[in-house]
């Protein structure tokens, strides 16, 4: 550099595409090239030693000299033209001593190009925004919930009634029974129906990310965080509904934070100090026995009470077999569209088989079985051979049903939940269940069962008859 005279340096700078300004740490102008001075109708003599904000319109040079954070390709209006400005801190021996700024004088053609590009970006942005908004709208209504059985109709009616309230709802039921569908329908017919419906599966998000997904994060909250931070789903769902699916899988530490957010109706984004008010309705769902989890201490009792203001228990498909036909018809209509088929039907033997099956995966399993069948279908009737192997193996299935029913019966009486009713009714309930359990244990031998229960054979037979145990 020593070889270059001042004239050479001036000339080199004037040949560059960019104009240059240098400030010290206080934001005082130390250098500004001649073309820049000409552009803002001033001279070098006039600007040197002045605060940069008194010299250049809309400058941020004094800020960069303080924060040490570079700013690249920023639009800066000067003298009625839009400039593209970049600002860099000057760091010497680890200390910020000032800042250097460059501006481009785009020629009018470039400027027009810029404007068009920006307009295109604005158009794209509003298109994507409306797509995201559509995505956040709940897609299902009560009309999409198919089922004619009394138990299903009863729960659907109840869900319709409670959709008008703003209380939290806890939906329980086995996997694939339609809990998410119910949550959608409740949101849709609630006063929040025009606002977003934001589902989140608590089981599929790693523990360390769950908080930032729900509550968002501030700029620089952790390594890998997006610049400028990110809104949490509670904020995205503003005025709408947050659907917390698989709530039973939420880690205890997160349960405490969620409880605090619901009690105080505000959240604190990760890495931030400020709190953000929230206005959302919570619908939670789980296929787990959450009451048992509370008893075992794996789910917070206080959070359970807060979520369980209204509880909906969706019946499993095996307990409403009358719905299988109508559900199959609806699902086949849906699948016909997907697979370009028409008039697909179930053969009577397949329908009969469906009624015998225990459907551990409920409606989702039925949907999968039908989709598989339609894929291998020759004509338009789904027959025995179009079923998956496990449905064609009757014997094993029967054993499964037996096991499942045993399981269901065993769980039927939860002592902490015994109803308040005349004592003799409760005694009868427990007596009946004990006889069933004992008969299962003795594999049907009544004699052994009577012995184990310590009662006579006649008395045992009488009780079986009275309780309808065959
Ligand atoms: N009553 C119903 N009418 C129409 N479709 C249904 C019904 N119940 C469930 N389905 C369909 O079954 C599938 C599973 O439903 P959904 O995801 O709501 O179940 P879920 O109980 O939330 O399951 P998981 O516990 O596994 O999350 C979906 O494709 C849904 O559309």
Residue 189 — very low, low, confident or very high, per pLDDT cuts 50/70/90? Answer: very high
CA 198 to ligand 1 centroid distance, Å: 17
Global pTM reads: 0.63
User: Using a 6 Å cutoff on CB, does residue 232 contact ligand 1?
Assistant: no
Ligand 1, atom nearest to 201 Cα: 27
The CA 403 to ligand 1 mean position distance, Å, reads 24
**CATH topology (fold) of 318-400:** Helicase, Ruva Protein; domain 3 (1.10.8)
Give distance in angstroms: CA of 138 to centre of ligand 1: 14
| pLDDT confidence of residue 185 | 96
C-alpha 367/C-alpha 146 separation (Å) is 13
Is the model's pLDDT at 138 over the cut of 50? yes
145 lines ligand 1 (CB under 6 A): yes
> In the 8-state DSSP scheme, what is residue 270?
B
pLDDT given at position 109:
67
Q: What percent of the chain has pLDDT over 70?
A: 91
Strand, helix or coil at 129? Answer: helix
Q: Residue 106 Cα, ligand 1 centroid: separation in angstroms?
A: 57
The answer to whether 42 touches 66, Cβ cutoff 8 Å, is no
Mean pLDDT on 52-59: 93
Task: Spell out the domain ranges in the chain.
Answer: 6-105, 142-313, 318-400, 413-467
Interval between CA 24 and ligand 1 midpoint (Å): 65
Residue of the nearest CA to atom 10 in ligand 1? 178
Ligand 1 center from residue 161 Cα (angstroms): 20
Which CATH class, in words, describes the domain spanning 6-105?
Answer: alpha beta
Mean predicted lDDT score pLDDT of the chain: 87
Q: pLDDT band at 403, cuts 50/70/90?
A: low
Residue 314's CB is within 10 A of a number of other CB atoms, namely: 27
Decide whether any atom of ligand 1 lies within 6 Å of the 156 Cβ. Answer: no
Q: Looking at ligand 1, which residue's alpha carbon is closest to its atom 28?
A: 364
**Residue 157 has what pLDDT?**
95
State the fold for domain 142-313. Answer: Rossmann fold (3.40.50)
Beta bridge partners of 89: 99
Q: Find the 155 Cα to ligand 1 centroid distance in Å.
A: 15
Strand partners, 286: 172
* Ligand 1 mutation pick, 146, 177, 316, 335, max ligand atoms within 8 A of CB: 177
Q: Looking at the predicted structure, is the pLDDT value of residue 407 above 80?
A: no
Q: Which residues pair with 11 in a beta bridge?
A: none
Pocket lining: 155 vs ligand 1, CB cutoff 6 Å = no
pLDDT tens digit sequence for 155-186? 999 999 999 999 999 999 999 999 999 999 99
Q: Is residue 205 very low, low, confident or very high in pLDDT (cuts 50, 70, 90)?
A: confident
Q: Name, in order, each residue with C-beta under 8 angstroms of 237's C-beta and a sequence gap of 6 or more.
A: 136, 195, 196, 197, 198, 280
Per-residue confidence band for 421, with pLDDT thresholds at 50, 70 and 90: confident
Res. 258 pLDDT band, cuts 50 70 90 = very high
Tokens of 219: 């700029």
Dist. CA 250–CA 229, nearest whole Å:
24
**pLDDT tens-digit readout, 213-257:** 999 988 776 766 777 788 899 999 999 999 999 999 999 989 999
Most confidently modeled of 135-139, 225-229, 292-296?
292-296
| Distance (Å, whole) CA 56 – CA 40 | 8
Cβ proximity of 19 and 36 under 8 Å:
yes
Tell me which residue of 344, 347, 355, 348 sits closest to 391, measured CA to CA.
Answer: 355
Ligand 1 in reach of 357 Cβ (< 6 A)? no
CA angle 454, 460, 461 (to 5 degrees): 160
Where is pLDDT greater, at 162 or 423?
Answer: 162
Q: What is the CATH number of domain 413-467?
A: 1.10.10
Q: What pLDDT, in 10s, does the model give residues 73-100? A: 888 888 777 788 999 999 999 999 999 9
Q: For residue 337, is it left (φ>0), alpha (ψ between -120 and 50) or beta?
A: alpha
| Ligand 1 nearest atom to the CA of residue 183, by list position | 18
Three-state secondary structure call for residue 32 = strand
pLDDT of residue 143 exceeding 50, the answer is yes
CA distance 277 to 235: 9
């Amino acid at each position: 550099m020593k070889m270059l005279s001042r004239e050479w340096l001036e000339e080199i700078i004037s040949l560059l595409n960019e104009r240059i300004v240098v400030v010290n740490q206080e934001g005082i102008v130390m250098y500004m090239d001649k073309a820049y001075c000409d552009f803002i109708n001033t001279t070098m003599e006039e600007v040197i030693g002045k605060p940069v904000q008194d010299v250049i319109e809309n400058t941020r040079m004094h800020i960069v000299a303080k924060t040490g954070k570079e700013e690249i390709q920023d639009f800066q209006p000067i003298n009625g033209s839009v400039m593209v400005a970049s600002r860099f801190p000057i760091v010497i021996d680890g200390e910020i001593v000032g800042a250097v700024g460059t501006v481009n004088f785009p020629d009018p053609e470039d400027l027009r190009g810029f404007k068009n590009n920006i307009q295109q970006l604005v158009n794209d942005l509003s298109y994507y925004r409306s797509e995201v908004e559509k995505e956040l709208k709940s897609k299902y209504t009560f009309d999409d919930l198919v089922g004619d059985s009394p138990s299903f109709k009863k729960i659907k009616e109840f869900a319709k009634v409670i959709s008008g309230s703003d209380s939290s709802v806890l939906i329980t039921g086995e996997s694939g029974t339609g809990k998410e569908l119910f949550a959608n329908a409740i949101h849709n017919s609630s006063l929040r129906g025009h606002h977003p419906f934001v589902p989140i599966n608590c089981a599929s998000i790693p523990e360390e990310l769950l908080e930032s997904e729900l509550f968002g994060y501030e700029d620089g909250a952790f390594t890998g965080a997006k610049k400028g931070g990110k809104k949490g789903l509670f904020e995205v769902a503003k005025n709408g509904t947050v659907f917390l699916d698989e709530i039973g899988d939420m880690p205890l530490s997160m349960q405490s934070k969620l409880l605090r957010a619901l009690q105080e109706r505000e959240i604190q984004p990760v890495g931030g100090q400020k709190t953000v008010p929230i206005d959302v309705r919570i619908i939670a769902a789980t296929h787990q026995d959450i009451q048992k989890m509370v008893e075992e201490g794996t789910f917070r009792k206080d959070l359970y009470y807060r979520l369980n203001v209204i509880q909906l228990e969706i019946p499993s498909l095996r307990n409403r077999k009358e719905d299988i036909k109508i559900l199959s018809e609806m699902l086949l209509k849906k699948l016909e569209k997907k697979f370009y088929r028409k008039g697909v039907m179930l053969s009577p033997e397949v329908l009969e088989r469906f009624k015998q099956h225990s459907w551990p995966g409920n409606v989702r399993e039925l949907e999968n079985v039908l989709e598989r069948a339609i894929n291998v279908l020759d004509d338009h009737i789904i027959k025995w051979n179009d079923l998956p192997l496990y449905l064609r193996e009757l014997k094993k299935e029967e054993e499964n049903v037996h096991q499942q029913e045993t399981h269901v019966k065993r769980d039927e009486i939860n002592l902490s939940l015994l109803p308040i009713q005349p004592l003799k009714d409760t005694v009868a309930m427990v007596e009946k269940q004990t006889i069933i359990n004992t008969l299962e244990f003795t594999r049907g031998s009544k004699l052994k069962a009577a012995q184990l229960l310590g009662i006579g054979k006649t008395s045992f037979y009488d009780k079986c008859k009275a309780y309808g145990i065959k």
